[in-house]
Amino acid sequence: AAMGAASMEKKFPTGFLWGSATASYQVEGGVNEGGRGQTIWDTFSHTPGKVANGDTGDVSTDSYHRYREDVALMKALGLRGCRFSVAWSRIFPTGVGQPNQAGLDYYNRVVDELLGSGIQPFCTLFHWDLPQALEDKGGWQNPDTAKAFADYAGYMGGKLSDRVKSFMTMNEIRSFTELGYQNGMHAPGLRVDAQKFAQVNHIAVLGHGLSVQALRASTKPGTKIGLADNAQATCPVLETPEHIKAAEIGMREQNAQYLTVIMEGKYTDAYLKRLGPNAPKFTAEELKIIGSPLDFVGLNVYQPTWVRADSTKEVGYSVVEGPASYPHMLSPWLTIGPEALYWSPKLVSKLWRPKELYITENGCSSSDVLNEEGQVLDTDRVMYLRNYLTQLHRAISEDVPVKGYFLWSLLDNFEWADGYGKRFGITYVDFKTQKRTPKLSSEFYKATIAKNSIA
Ligand code: PNW
């Protein structure tokens, strides 16, 4: 029986990097401090009707002032990695021009605090808080934004790469383009036409590519450069060869204008055909830049995209929409499918052979409440994490080179258009007092890290 129990234990590789992830506008607050310039999220959240309850990131978890306390929480959990993002407008208040030393000083303090606690900093350069001054000139509809981003990224690489060894250019290109410029649910709240939208996507991936080149030029040798991408996690409806093949084709086609063009340096024929007259305008030189080689791919994995083989479709697959009764977490879009954390890295690895992979986000929203004893017993989040991590272990046991996992998120925080109404933290935050209370899921994560295994 003892042998049986031991063989059930799912060990992660020695040195596997357990971490957590956050983003500047979601946790920092301090929006008028240290010379920070206004961003599209300040504008958007202060526009009535855009964010639930009229919530804004003005204070949020106040991590601009409380980062030491946050790092202490990470250390107590045994975390060895922290993914954070830099607010572009703290460094260049209008997106371009003269750097702002006070902004840089803040990130220097954060990085030094992390390193002093034995935690490796992973720096994201753009997590959606575009300087408002750039939006005023067209934002991601204007190719100058891509160039400005590369200049800023290169500047940060030069300043931080003596201590930060891993950089991600952008977080979830699909999210900020679709939500910001296609359906208007996120800042800047626009709905541009199909051709303009294809161009927004193209300019965004071009900005990614240009920033990879700028980082290569400015960072110390050995610095690793990647991105945090939310490739749709295509999962076969049944694990049979035909449906698995469909999921693989789906991974390439569903993500054609994002990860596929970044990894292959070209748009797929099916994508260009599908868009027809609305296809983006581009040059061969731009495609080369977009396809600049990466050191790692970061994957943000939440919900599955179920896919089946479909011979009536030219591409050979179709996406299966779930039934109305399909289970999800508190966010309606966050349908549950632990297999996503197997198939996403598995298929990305098979298609493009990145040297290293990280799970740069995974986690969930829950209707957490403090009970009378002042505890949050988020059994749903524990269940979610245990099942997803079991599938991640499955991928690693098949030699998919996943080197680390960043849980979203350490703290409840500003969940974009959902405001503070959707809690993703493994630590409960009382937004009136800023008191942090670890949830049951914190205990679960701490034990997982200590054992380096999932039960
Ligand atoms: C990611 N969807 O956003 C972001 O990177 C985080 O900033 C965010 O807080 C977290 O996931 C939780 O939402 C997403 O609609 C936004 O599928 C939307 C979707 C997925 C991820």
pLDDT digits (tens, 9 = 90+) for 369-428: 999 999 999 999 999 999 999 999 999 999 999 999 999 999 999 999 999 999 999 999
In angstroms and rounded to an integer, the radius of gyration of the C-alpha atoms of the chain is 21
Burial-class residue 82 by CB neighbours within 10 Å (0-12, 13-18, 19+).
Answer: buried
| Cβ-Cβ contacts under 8 Å for 239 (sequence gap 6 or more) | none
Looking at this predicted complex, what is its ipTM? 0.92
In the residue annotation, 172 being an active-site residue is answered as: yes
Question: Which range has the worst mean pLDDT, 7-16, 133-142, 272-281?
Answer: 7-16
Q: How far apart are CA 392 and CA 397, in angstroms?
A: 9
pLDDT above 60 (res 119): yes
> Which residues sit in the known binding site for substrate?
26, 127, 171, 302, 408, 415-416
Kindly indicate the confidence band of residue 2, based on its pLDDT and cuts at 50, 70 and 90: very low
Kindly indicate the confidence band of residue 1, based on its pLDDT and cuts at 50, 70 and 90: very low
Q: Which among 28, 113, 253, 361 is annotated as catalytic? A: 361
Quote the ligand 1 centre to 393 CA distance (angstroms).
23
Average pLDDT, the chain: 97
For residue 35, give the 3-state DSSP assignment.
coil
pLDDT above 90 (res 3): no
Res 86: pLDDT: 99
Kindly indicate the confidence band of residue 187, based on its pLDDT and cuts at 50, 70 and 90: very high
Q: Which among 113, 172, 248, 339 is annotated as catalytic? A: 172
Quote the ligand 1 centre to 304 CA distance (angstroms).
13
- Residue-wise pLDDT tens digits, 49-100: 999 999 999 999 999 999 999 999 999 999 999 999 999 999 999 999 999 9
Kindly indicate the confidence band of residue 7, based on its pLDDT and cuts at 50, 70 and 90: low
Kindly indicate the confidence band of residue 9, based on its pLDDT and cuts at 50, 70 and 90: confident
CA angle 405, 408, 413 (to 5 degrees): 155
Q: Is 229 in the pocket of ligand 1 (CB under 6 A)?
A: no
